[in-house]
Structure 1
Amino acid sequence: MGLFFEVVLPIIAVFGVGFLLQRIRVLDVKSIATVSIYIFLPALVFTSLYEAEYNQGFTIIIVFAFFLLFMMIVINKMLARIFKWKQTVESASILTTAFMNGGNYGVPVIIYSVGEAALPYAIFFMVLQSLVMNFFGVYYASKGTSGISRAVKTIFKMPATYAAVLAFIFQKIPWEIPDPVYSTLSMVGSAAIPLMMVMLGMQLASITSLKFNWQIISSAVIIRMVISPIIALLFILALDVNTLIGSVLLIVAAMPSAATTTMYAIEFDTEPDLVSSITLVTTLISVLTLTILLNVIV
């Protein structure tokens, strides 16, 4: 129970603060998300990746991200055929199981359980997952050719994409960033994680309508919270991944559904109530499943 009180409970408490604030004051979550996405997150991405020493671990994360996405899509398509789900339900299930909350939930859990050494890998996975989610998430939410062009445009609108590219470039050129500039970026970046945590609580509090189709919700919960980490474990064992990278992969694979998938579902009318329900249920269940997982791997 030590890890629950040391890692999980403090993080859930911060989520709870955001949840209560949103219930009491009803703030504009979209505006706060914009501030996070365009100011705080790019600074965190840049400083974390700029300071990182690149090794095989980053390549493993890329391979794993696409492998897990592929497996999630295959499993969902099999279930859709077995249970005869309609197209929108299949897309909703893919949205909530293929895309996990590796950012405002995964990053703090990794930092507080694995340690600061894992931060560059956690940030790298978060950026990569955001790129993948903004492409495939938009595609599956819209499920049409217009979704592809929209997905590409969405990726190039993400400041974190450019922050990651700039971090790679500045690492390679023989010029050091002036201390006042870099210290400012570090200060802004350090505020990104707590802000993302509060924002997740606010996003959950903003869910207004639910649709408890327990057959679909149960399937999504099992896929996201059980099958996904099992796939991650098999991947780690097959490639003999080192302990640090393996811990990062296992934790992100066990994360609940990404809250941003609800926005896609609402915008493209892809069973938004069902997507919201799955996101909420997986987030609540993660309190138990993550506590068990962390006690096993940490």
Structure 2
Amino acid sequence: MAIFLSILWNNVIPLSVMIALGITLHRVFSLDIKTLSKLNFYLFSPAIIFNLLYTTEISMNVLLKVLLFFFVFMFLLYGCVEAAIRIRRTPKAMQGAVRNSVLFYNSANYGIPLNQLAFASNPYTLSVQVLIMMMQSLIPNTYGIYNVNSHKLQARDIGRTILGQPVIYAIPMGFLLHTFHIEIPKALDIPLNYLANAFIGTALITLGVQLGSMKLTLRHPKLKDVLISVVLRLIGGPLLALAVVWLMRTNSFTMIDSLMVKALIVSSSVPTSLSSVLLAVEFDNEPEFASQVVLLSTTLSIITVTCVIYLLHI
């Protein structure tokens, strides 16, 4: 119990405090969530992704194993979501929102600080989380946009929207400049670091502001779908991750060490990403449902994430 309480106090509560500050500020001042979201979406998020990819040493061995884990994990998770959609006979217009609520998890403004707290800012586990964050930033800005628009927009319009997302340019640029050891001029490097350093605090505050504008109701007409999405995200996620890392450890070609195992499982246990809400609001695709999933999964993650870290410690 002492370990459990220590994890809760030292790893999860600090995140909750920042989120609570965002909720409080919104309740007092009614902050503009759209402005905060655009700051995170177009400035802070691309900046930290670029900065982490540019500055973090990531070996080819780690890159290949993390990417292998990610694609197998996402394939299995996608299969679980599709099964739930078919069993529930979810309307076609809502299917995209349900998929996004499970497949897109908060690997950035929740996952990065959680990783730094859980692993004492270990550069190795941070490199694992950076790669997960990279993929979780790329997919919502490509597949996610397609997913919520495929039933109402033409492929050309969807493609134009995807090409307007800054993250898809920040990722290859960060990799290329790091690979070829190209030095960034001080005049650009300093403001880039300012933007990257502002990410975690601003993102957690933004998450709090978003949650502060929501209201969970037990009479929500789609409450069962909300609960299914939350269970798949918070419980199904780490269980599937455990299965994937177990399979990888049984194969000599994909053998991963215990520290990577822990980092990958922790990365899969975080709540639904705000990107699912932003996509739902931006493209008018079940925004209320998406908001309910983010609110409930973030609230319950205080317990579930603590349990995951505790089980990994013992």
TM-score for the superposition, normalised by structure 1: 0.89
Question: Structure 1's 191 and 266: CA in aligned 2 closer, same or farther, altered over 3 A?
Answer: closer
Contact 1:131–1:155 (Cα < 8 Å) also in 2: no
2-structure distance, mates of 1:103, 1:261: 13
From 66, 84, 88, the equivalent of 2:71 is 66
Which residue does the alignment assign to 1:266?
281
- The 3-state SS of whatever aligns with 1:17 is helix
Are 1:213 and 2:222 an aligned pair? yes
Which residue does the alignment assign to 1:53?
57
Contact 1:138–1:150 (Cα < 8 Å) also in 2: no
Which residue does the alignment assign to 2:133?
126
Question: Structure 1's 80 and 41: CA in aligned 2 closer, same or farther, altered over 3 A?
Answer: closer
In structure 2, list runs of 5 or more residues that go unmatched. Answer: 250-255
Percent identity at matched positions? 24
Contact 1:134–1:151 (Cα < 8 Å) also in 2: no
Are 1:31 and 2:40 an aligned pair? no
Which residue does the alignment assign to 2:201?
194
1-structure distance, mates of 2:28, 2:154: 36
2-structure distance, mates of 1:172, 1:68: 27
- The 3-state SS of whatever aligns with 2:131 is helix
In structure 1, list runs of 5 or more residues that go unmatched. Answer: none
Task: Give deviations 1:216-271, integer Å, cap 9, x for gaps.
Answer: 22221221111111110111111122233322321221111112212322344433
Which residue does the alignment assign to 2:253?
none
Contact 2:69–2:245 (Cα < 8 Å) also in 1: no
2-structure distance, mates of 1:230, 1:238: 13
Which residue does the alignment assign to 1:233?
242
From 234, 244, 262, the equivalent of 2:259 is 244
Contact 2:112–2:129 (Cα < 8 Å) also in 1: yes
* 1:209, distance to aligned residue in structure 2 (A): 7.9
2-structure distance, mates of 1:244, 1:230: 17
Aligned residues: 298
* 1:183, distance to aligned residue in structure 2 (A): 4.4
Question: Structure 1's 272 and 37: CA in aligned 2 closer, same or farther, altered over 3 A?
Answer: closer
Moved more, 155-164 or 8-17: 155-164
Question: Structure 1's 161 and 137: CA in aligned 2 closer, same or farther, altered over 3 A?
Answer: closer
Task: Give deviations 1:63-121, integer Å, cap 9, x for gaps.
Answer: 33333332233222222222322223433321211111111111111111123212233
Please provide the CA RMSD for this pair.
Answer: 2.3
From 65, 75, 80, the equivalent of 2:85 is 80
- The 3-state SS of whatever aligns with 2:109 is coil
2-structure distance, mates of 1:269, 1:164: 27
- The 3-state SS of whatever aligns with 2:139 is helix
- The 3-state SS of whatever aligns with 2:105 is coil
* 1:149, distance to aligned residue in structure 2 (A): 4.1
Contact 2:58–2:127 (Cα < 8 Å) also in 1: no
1-structure distance, mates of 2:212, 2:244: 35
